[in-house]
A and B are shown apart, each in its own frame.
Chain A
Amino acid sequence: MVADTSTHTTKPSIGDYLRNNIREYGLLVALVIIMLFFQFVTSGVLFRPVNITNLVLQNSFIVIMALGMLLIIVAGHIDLSVGSIVAFVGAISAIMLVKWGLPAIVVVPACLVVGGIMGAAQGYWVAYQKIPSFIVTLAGMLVFRGMTYVVLGGRPIGPFPKDFQILSTGFVPDFLYFLNPSPEIIKNMVALVAVLALVGYAIYAGIRNRRINEQHGTENEPFVFFAVQMAVIGVVALFIGFQLSTYRGLPNVLIVMGVLIAAYTFVTTRSTIGRRVYAMGGNEKATKLSGINTERLTFYAFVNMGVLAALAGMIITARLNSATPKAGVGFELDVIAACFIGGASASGGVGKITGAVIGAFIMGVMNNGMSIMGIGIDYQQLIKGLVLLAAVFFDVYNKNKGKG
Chain B
Amino acid sequence: MDNIILEMRGITKTFPGVKALDNVSFKVREGEIHALVGENGAGKSTLMKVLSGVYPAGTYEGEIHYDGEERRFSTIADSEELGIIIIHQELALVPLLSIAENIFLGNEIADKGVIHWPQTFSRTQELLKKVGLTESPATLITDIGVGKQQLVEIAKALSKKVRLLILDEPTASLNETDSDALLKLLMEFRNQGMTSIIISHKLNEIKKVADQITILRDGGTVETLDCHKEDISEDRIIKGMVGRAMEDRYPPREPKIGDTLLEVKNWNVFHQHHRDRQFLHDVSFKVRAGEVVGIAGLMGAGRTETAMSIFGKSWGHKITGEVTMRGQPVDVSTIPRAIKAGLAYVTEDRKQLGLVLINNIKENTTLANLSAVAANGVIDERQERKVAGDYRTKLRIRSHSIYQEAVNLSGGNQQKVVLSKWLFTNPEVLILDEPTRGIDIGAKYEIYTIINQLAAEGKGILMISSEMPELLGTCDRIYVMNEGRIVAELSKEEASQESIMRAIMRSGEKH
Contact = CB atoms under 8 A, between A and B. Distances in A.
Interface of A: 1-9, 212, 216, 218-219, 270-273, 275-276, 278-279, 282-283, 285-293, 349-350, 404
Nearest 5 pairs between A and B by C-beta?
Answer: A282-B356, A290-B368, A5-B398, A3-B410, A404-B16
B154 interface: no
Most buried by B among A212, A275, A288: A275
Contacts of A7: 398-400
Nearest to B46: A1
A272 B371 contact: yes
B353 to A, nearest CB: 5
A4 B40 CA distance: 12
13 contacts: A3-B410, A4-B408, A219-B403, A270-B379, A272-B371, A279-B356, A282-B359, A283-B356, A286-B367, A291-B336, A291-B339, A293-B336, A404-B16
Contacts of B413: 3, 5
Contact of B367 (A216, A273, A290): A290
B365 to A, nearest CB: 11
B358 A271 contact: no
B218 to A, nearest CB: 10
A89 B15 CA distance: 56
B358 A8 contact: no
Contacts of B347: 286, 289
A275 B363 contact: yes
A275 B379 contact: yes
Contacts of A218: 385
B192 interface: no
B379 A272 contact: yes
Interface string B368-399: 10110010011101100100000000000011
Interface string B323-360: 00000000000011011000001010000111111110
Interface of B: 15-18, 20, 41, 43, 45-46, 219, 311-312, 314, 335-336, 338-339, 345, 347, 352-359, 363, 367-368, 370-371, 374, 377-379, 381-382, 385, 398-401, 403, 408-410, 413, 421, 425
B22 to A, nearest CB: 11
B400 A8 contact: yes
Contacts of B378: 270-272
A404 B413 CA distance: 22
A301 to B, nearest CB: 16
Contacts of A271: 374, 377-379
A60 B16 CA distance: 45
Given A2-B18, A4-B17, A291-B368, A286 B355 contact: yes
Contacts of A287: 356, 367
Contacts of B358: 282-283, 349-350
A6 B45 CA distance: 20
Contact of A286 (B17, B354, B398): B354
A280 B134 CA distance: 42
A218 B339 CA distance: 32
A122 B443 CA distance: 47
B43 A2 contact: yes
B41 A3 contact: yes
B312 A291 contact: yes
B182 to A, nearest CB: 23
A341 to B, nearest CB: 20
A276 B370 contact: yes
